Amino acid sequence: DAGVIQSPRHEVTEMGQEVTLRCKPISGHNSLFWYRQTMMRGLELLIYFNNNVPIDDSGMPEDRFSAKMPNASFSTLKIQPSEPRDSAVYFCASSLGWSSYNSPLHFGNGTRLTVT
C-alpha cells in the first residue's frame, strides 16, 4: 500500500493567494483527518471526516479555511486568502474505523506551506 498521499510536498505562495492542499487516504480507510503542525502550537486537529462527511471542524482557525471530501479517495484543504501566519506543515491522516480506539492514524508525508 502506498500509504496516505499528499500533494504538493512544498508550497510557497504570496499573501492573499489561494492555496489548495490535496490528500488521498489509504484505500479502505473511512476516516480522514487534517492536522497542522507548527513549533508554537504543535499538532493541531483542524477537521476530520467519516465516510466523507465532516464530523468536527471546530479546529478550523478561520473562515479562510475550508475542507472537502467529495469521495472516499480524495480530500482538499483550501486556504483563501492565505496569510503568513498560515505557514506550517499540514498533515493528512486516515484510519480504518469510526473511532481511533481500534484503528490508529496513518499520516501522510505532509505539505510544507510557506506564505510570504
Partner 1 sequence: GENVEQHPSTLSVQEGDSAVIKCTYSDSASNYFPWYKQELGKRPQLIIDIRSNVGEKKDQRIAVTLNKTAKHFSLHITETQPEDSAVYFCAASRRGNTGKLIFGQGTTLQVKP
| Whole-angstrom distance, CA of residue 35 vs CA of residue 17 | 21
Q: Give the residues lining the site for partner 1 (CB under 8 A).
A: 31, 33, 42-43, 45, 48, 50, 55-56, 91, 95, 97-101, 103-110
How far apart are CB 52 and partner 1 at their closest, in Å?
Answer: 14
* Residue with Cβ nearer partner 1 (50 or 52): 50
* Residue with Cβ nearer partner 1 (78 or 112): 112
* Residue with Cβ nearer partner 1 (30 or 73): 30
How far apart are CB 67 and partner 1 at their closest, in Å?
Answer: 15
Q: How far is CA 22 from CA 12, 58, 62, 89, in A?
A: 15, 20, 19, 13
Counting Cα atoms < 13 Å in the Cβ hemisphere of 62 gives 8
How far apart are CB 112 and partner 1 at their closest, in Å?
Answer: 9
Conformation bin of residue 110: beta by default, left when phi > 0, alpha when psi is -120 to 50: left
* Residue with Cβ nearer partner 1 (65 or 91): 91
Burial bucket for residue 101 (CB in 10 Å: 0-12, 13-18, 19+): exposed
How far apart are CB 104 and partner 1 at their closest, in Å?
Answer: 5
